[in-house]
Amino acid sequence: MPSCCCLLGLGFPSPPSALRILRRRMASRAFQLRLNPLTGDSEWLVVEEEEEEDHHPTPPPKQLLATTSYLDMLNDSARNRAYRRAIEAAVTDPSSRVLDIGAGTGLLSMMAARALAAVGGETRGGSVSACESYLPMGKLMRRVLRANGMENRVKVFHKRSDELKVRDDLDSPADILVSEILDSELLGEGLIPTLQQAYDMLLAKNPKIVPYRATTYGQLVESTFLWKLHDLHNNEANAADGVWLTPGEMERIVSVKPQQHAMQCGYFNWILLGQSSTQLLLDGRDNQVVRGRNADWCDHWKQCVWFMQGKGIPATEDQVLSLRARHNQTSISYQLNINDEACDRSSKGDHLTLLPERIALYGDKDWRSALINTIKNALTVKSSPTCVVADDSMFLALLISSMSPTSKVIAMYPGLRDKGAAYLRSVADANNFSIDQIQVIGKRASSITADDLKHKKVNLLVGEPFYLGSEGMLPWQNLRFWSVRTLLDSMLSEDAFIMPCKGILKLCAMSLPDLWRSRSSLKDVEGFDHSVVNETLGACGCLPGDQQGPCLPYYVWQCGYTKKLSKVYSLMDFNFSEPIHSCFGKTKIEFSHDGTCHGFAVWIDWVLDERKSVVLTTGPDNRYWKQGVQLFSKPVEVNPGKSVMHVEASFDPSTGEITFSSSSTTCS
């Protein structure tokens, strides 16, 4: 009898507009908010709106858009071809007025302008208008238009579509609307309110729409892996270690947010409890179909998982289950049978929602055991310690307070803040400690003073390390722990116990053909030159000369076909007993397998104790952490005993960034 049932709302492309970056505009410039990974502080980058003279504008800041899905989408030939055909089918009247919302690089706008010219639109009053509110992307679009001789055939607006006005901006209402403001959850990027506003204010009666229709499909599955990603309470019960993040009747106090979670679902095991598919129809003839699970892997096509409560709902063959789906302006929610009310649950002040991978990690028996044993050993020599939890770790604050009744625990909680304090108050009794033991500061390390610590020296400085909001970043963004330790240096006792005590940068050479293809530099995209976008969008493959793309965060196990071509090598050490400083490392990779090497995966192993007996790895074999992936500009054919590769890396403590360089040689 299958008992763990999860619903998959399958597949729509993660959009370029998924770049959720705070912006402010003043006159002719925009201010781009960038997070410093080592401090948690924000700084503003100025992006000028004016075009430079002689048609040579300054490009947006280097690789500003590298972590978005633009490049992957533009490398998806099936998607591009389907859009082109749908637009050509829609643009049949030479007087058509086309509006492109969320225009990105302007690809759909150029398709529309070309289709319009093919039916004589240039002499019959046809027009194409492109709306792109994100200024760096709008500037890049102008460069693409110029490269293709389209700058006078597409009118560009650096505005939100709801800021456009007919007669002020558009000469008349548009007959045709093209857009790609879709994400894997379909509605998360404001598709409904955007299209509704366009219908009400910007479009003529009975307009043609591309895409024309979207249909979502569900699939019930049984999966142990998916269960671990959301049922923290029962996984804690299996761990049986006495520390409860979700005690007793509070089993939902920490949960996964009730929403569709985008994942590459083809890369873990499940039992299908029915049939499923998904499709996006681009035109009204049902001809141009883009499917959510295609044979050619690409990162912007993901499926979505909706988690049922607890262990799921028992299901038997031929059983009929009642499934309800409903949506609001920005999301779709599901309800399986009458007793599944996850989509109706409102969050209380002490309720925390975390990403699925963090939920799984908190319920992992080995992970918990590693932290428990390390802290237990530390407390044997530290009586009545003053302990600072330097990050957003709920587990460590609970663990130390329950294991050492005379300890004073100061939780910095730079991300959780008041929510973390409310949570701890709720679960203190269940974990047998007094809430008076814990003080939640809710500050960054740069703001902490001796007064906050009651002028006591810190005996224990600990972290997972985990900073709320950094889950999707590169592994070394959590070297923020080292920065925090440095800022607190004067407040540490001479024999302070620091956990983790060290970070080790590891790497492994890999074959990653699917990822490499999706990150390759662009040239011709459906007949339009896109080579000017490569640097800004962070292209990695097929680069000229010695150019190198950025190192980007990925769950390697979800990156299509992968193969390890070497053993794991250590590249650089970060010693947390010392203040933060620049680091350099190098290693020689000897290949253990034949294959095509597209790059290497890099991650950090956290050494918890000075004896190096307890290590938490975040490598590709651990599915709950992202790794950094450095792709080569060109693939390298390698053979054991004949091919070697030299890799160097340097860490800059002023920026928190690690840069890599590599070279390969073939031995005779």
Show which residues are catalytic: 180, 189
Please give the Cα distance from 550 to 360 (Å, whole number).
Answer: 29
Please give the Cα distance from 264 to 37 (Å, whole number).
Answer: 27
Cβ 98 vs Cβ 112: under 8 Å: yes
The DSSP 8-state label assigned to residue 277 in this structure reads -
How, if at all, do strands 524-525 and 569-575 pair?
unpaired
303 Cβ contact list (under 8 Å, min separation 6): 8, 9, 10, 11, 184, 262, 263, 264, 265, 266, 278, 292, 293
* Three-state secondary structure readout of 283-311: CCCCCCEEECCCCCCCCCEEEEEEECCCC
Residue 496, amino acid: A
Query: How many alpha carbons fall within 13 Å on the CB side of residue 55?
Result: 8
Cβ 429 vs Cβ 248: under 8 Å: no
521: left (phi over 0), alpha (psi -120 to 50) or beta: beta
Q: Could you give phi then psi for residue 181, rounded to 5 degrees?
A: -100, 55
Q: Which residue has the tokens 């002020």?
A: 168
Cis peptide, bond prior to residue 465, ω within 30 of zero: yes
Please give the Cα distance from 538 to 376 (Å, whole number).
Answer: 45
Cβ 645 vs Cβ 652: under 8 Å: no
Q: Provide the terminal-to-terminal Cα distance of the chain, rounded to the nearest Å.
A: 59
Q: Strand, helix or coil at 506?
A: strand
DSSP bridge pairs for 101: 131, 179
The burial class, CB within 10 Å (0-12 / 13-18 / 19+), for 283 is buried
Please give the Cα distance from 331 to 429 (Å, whole number).
Answer: 37
